A and B are shown apart, each in its own frame.
Chain A
Amino acid sequence: MTATQSTSPAWLTEYRALAQQTLDEKALPTSTDRPWKYTDVSALDIYSLKQLETEDQAIRIVSCPEDLVVRGLIDSAHDPELEQKIQANLGHLIPADEDYLLAANSAEWTNGFFINPKQGVQYTEPLSIEIDLSKRSATIFPRILIVAEANSELDIIISSTSIEEEALVIAALELQVNNSARLAITFANNWGFNTKEFTTLRAELADNASLNISTICIGGAIVKHRYDIHLNGKGADSRVKGVAVGDKTQHFDFMTVQEHNAPNSSSDVEIKTALAGESRAVYYGITRVSEEAKGSQANQENRNMLLAPKAKADSDPVLEILTNDVSRCGHGATVGPVDAEGMFYLMSRGLNKRAALRILVGGFLSPIVDYLKDAKLADTVRATVNDKLQNASLD
């Protein structure tokens, strides 16, 4: 227990005590829990590595738009102007006793972030956050609460790097996107080869609110991202775009849940992976369109390109439609080798096998990479993917 925690408001102390109790009583999830079917964490020891005294040592604000509230969670909870907002939202989407890893985050985070785009303000510059474990082998528990006020507009970029030694990241994000607010989050993840990351993002969208999530996964040993999006307001709109490029024994796991609870809401999920070596990708997605969600649109797509014979992908997009009034709903999943015709076409232009493959994969991923708002980031991602494929194992 750190000093700051002892001074938490009573409600927060209680929440965290319950999380601690859950940790003591519950076990890690096993493959019989559907979300963990293909990602084995049963042997994970979240206390095997050093914990940081405060996450501030690893999480840095690189740049912050003028006038945007970004503060430590405990600090904010003590601010009479903010306390109510924090109390109403922190732990609202992530209950303390739901599951082991979420409880671990809820019990162990030290500082956290509260991000609060102001009503009616369109921030033109992005908020850029860096998670940097490049100097130490450690476990961190990033916790972020975002309350996007009505009609606000903000882009957040979270980039992550780490050393090649072991590191463990157990992150939780709670997002409240109010009426007509627009929030975009980009995860640009380039972990070292022995980092395991488990991230849960939960969001609630009000009327005409929009949430854009873009995730680029390149590094890491095991990376699991789970996004639960509750489209509670009419006209709410969510988009999830994810890319993973795997090699060696890397393991990527994406899970998305879109709950359409209001009329004319729309959701779009597109996850694409390119897998070399013995790497593996998992996608499990549920889009549920409730009876109230008349006139909604939902799309779910997962495409996996296997670049090597031992690479593997499991894909399971599920669509549950409980209203007979949907405007457009679709889902698709593919797992397959590189297009042989495309390879021959490119090679007939003089490109060797690896160059042809780089071009094909680049094209395959481009609908997502080109969609990144930050052009410089998009360039970096293209170059990183290119470099990775230059050395990836293809047999």
Chain B
Amino acid sequence: MTTNENSSLLEITDLATSVTERPDVKILKGINLSIKPGEVHALMGPNGSGKSTLALTIAGSPTYTVDRGNVSYKDEDITHMAADQRARNGIFLSFQYPTAIPGVTLVNLIREAIKARTGEDVSAREFIAQLRETLGRLKMSEDFARRYVNDGFSGGEKKRAEILQLGMLRPELAILDETDSGLDIDALRTVAEGVTTLRDPNMGILLITHYERILNYIEPDFVHILVGGNIVASGDFDLAKRIEGEGYDPLLRELNISEEEALI
């Protein structure tokens, strides 16, 4: 499927979600967000504001239930699509807290994921060549790729493993949930450069972060501020710089958002 230049890659309309097992816990309160191919959107917001919930909901996590509104991707309503189908359609989430899969190597997982995505097994030679190239670009060793997925990984290693998968799977919509947290300064640059080289005119990025630093490498076209389950402000890079400089309070005061409303 080719995407029309003007149409959205991801279009979120009035999205409200709650926790599936606890329907009384409402998290997102009516999100609107539109990402076009090639765009980078940064999403910032205080702890507990709903950033990961939004990321996981786009990826199709059964932990959250959509109560209202919808998510469409490449002009298709995916609000109720299973997570695996979304992934095969090109959505990738770099988890804030990646899950350990003991006994399964990263290599094995990536190979299965490529097989699932393309519907065919790549040849071992082609796969290894591609893996080596990606590992090299991300300054990671082959030994690292042979470790069990996130099993005993340090915080930074988990983030690197997510980016390795991103690099191998080449999604069209990449959601990076605090991929920068936990990375050392050099790793942050390598990861950011890795993401930048992956970018092509069709790829959209939703970049969730608490810090301006990563945005200096992956410059956002738009910055959104999520507070209490609502996007309360949107702007350009300057908005991120402002938050970095003075925190959320002045902005919230300016917008007449009480501390109570800011709470979930």
Our verdict on whether A and B bind, yes or no, reads yes
Task: Annotate A326-360 by CB proximity to B: 1 below 8 A, 0 otherwise.
Answer: 00000000000001111011111111110110011
Cross-chain contact A345 with B103 (CB below 8 angstroms): no
Smallest distance from the beta carbon of A243 to chain B beta carbons, Å?
Answer: 12
Cross-chain contact B87 with A350 (CB below 8 angstroms): yes
Which of B65-73, B94-102, B220-228 has 4 or more CB atoms under 8 Å from chain A?
A: B94-102
Chain A residues with CB under 8 A of B98: 345
Asked if A86 is at the interface of the complex by the 8 Å CB criterion, the answer is no
Asked if B49 is at the interface of the complex by the 8 Å CB criterion, the answer is no
Which of A181-189, A249-257, A282-290, A362-370 has 4 or more CB atoms under 8 Å from chain B?
A: A362-370
Smallest distance from the beta carbon of B4 to chain A beta carbons, Å?
Answer: 25
How many chain B residues touch A (CB < 8 A): the figure is 30
Which of B106-114, B124-132, B211-219 has 4 or more CB atoms under 8 Å from chain A?
A: B106-114
Asked if B26 is at the interface of the complex by the 8 Å CB criterion, the answer is no
Smallest distance from the beta carbon of B94 to chain A beta carbons, Å?
Answer: 10
- A352 and B101 contact, Cβ closer than 8 Å, known pairs A346-B109, A347-B83, A363-B148: no
Cross-chain contact B104 with A348 (CB below 8 angstroms): no
Main secondary structure of the interface of A (DSSP, over half): helix
Chain A residues with CB under 8 A of B109: 346, 349, 359
Chain B residues with CB under 8 A of A353: 84
Chain A residues with CB under 8 A of B95: 345, 348
Which of B38-46, B54-62, B194-202, B234-242 has 4 or more CB atoms under 8 Å from chain A?
A: B54-62
Asked if B138 is at the interface of the complex by the 8 Å CB criterion, the answer is no
- A344 and B108 contact, Cβ closer than 8 Å, known pairs A349-B116, A350-B113: no
Chain B residues with CB under 8 A of A345: 95, 98-99, 101
Smallest distance from the beta carbon of B117 to chain A beta carbons, Å?
Answer: 5
Asked if B231 is at the interface of the complex by the 8 Å CB criterion, the answer is no
Asked if B79 is at the interface of the complex by the 8 Å CB criterion, the answer is no
Report which of A347, A348, A356, A359 forms a contact with B108, defined as CB distance below 8 A: A359
Distance of A366 Cα from B146 Cα, bound (Å) = 14
Distance of A338 Cα from B32 Cα, bound (Å) = 35
Distance of A362 Cα from B103 Cα, bound (Å) = 7
Cross-chain contact B99 with A351 (CB below 8 angstroms): no
Cross-chain contact A350 with B101 (CB below 8 angstroms): no
Cross-chain contact B103 with A351 (CB below 8 angstroms): no
Report which of B84, B93, B102, B148 forms a contact with A356, defined as CB distance below 8 A: B84
Select from chain B the residue with minimum beta-carbon distance to A360. B101
Cross-chain contact B104 with A359 (CB below 8 angstroms): yes
Cross-chain contact B84 with A350 (CB below 8 angstroms): yes
Smallest distance from the beta carbon of A176 to chain B beta carbons, Å?
Answer: 35
- A348 and B87 contact, Cβ closer than 8 Å, known pairs A355-B116, A359-B109: yes
Smallest distance from the beta carbon of B91 to chain A beta carbons, Å?
Answer: 8
Smallest distance from the beta carbon of A49 to chain B beta carbons, Å?
Answer: 39
Chain B residues with CB under 8 A of A366: 102-104
Asked if B165 is at the interface of the complex by the 8 Å CB criterion, the answer is yes
Report which of B83, B102, B103, B148 forms a contact with A348, defined as CB distance below 8 A: B83
Select from chain B the residue with minimum beta-carbon distance to A340. B62
Distance of A220 Cα from B150 Cα, bound (Å) = 36
Distance of A351 Cα from B118 Cα, bound (Å) = 11
Smallest distance from the beta carbon of A367 to chain B beta carbons, Å?
Answer: 6
Report which of B93, B100, B116 forms a contact with A351, defined as CB distance below 8 A: B116
Chain B residues with CB under 8 A of A367: 103
- A349 and B103 contact, Cβ closer than 8 Å, known pairs A359-B108, A359-B112: no
Smallest distance from the beta carbon of A125 to chain B beta carbons, Å?
Answer: 29
Chain A residues with CB under 8 A of B104: 359-360, 362-363, 366
Distance of A366 Cα from B113 Cα, bound (Å) = 19
Asked if B185 is at the interface of the complex by the 8 Å CB criterion, the answer is no
Cross-chain contact B87 with A347 (CB below 8 angstroms): yes
Cross-chain contact B101 with A349 (CB below 8 angstroms): no
Distance of A353 Cα from B101 Cα, bound (Å) = 15
Interface residues of A, Cβ cutoff 8 Å to B: 339-342, 344-353, 355-356, 359-360, 362-367
**What are the 6 tightest A-B residue pairs by CB atom distance, in nearest-first order?**
A363-B103, A366-B103, A363-B104, A350-B87, A350-B116, A349-B113
CB-defined A-B contacts under 8 Å, sample of 6 = A344-B99, A345-B95, A347-B83, A348-B60, A359-B109, A366-B104
Interface residues of B, Cβ cutoff 8 Å to A: 59-63, 82-84, 86-88, 92-93, 95, 98-104, 108-109, 112-113, 116-117, 148, 165, 169
Given contacts A347-B87, A351-B113, 19 further A-B contacts (CB under 8 A): A341-B99, A344-B62, A346-B109, A347-B82, A348-B83, A348-B95, A349-B87, A349-B112, A349-B169, A350-B88, A350-B117, A351-B116, A355-B112, A355-B116, A356-B84, A359-B109, A362-B104, A365-B103, A366-B104
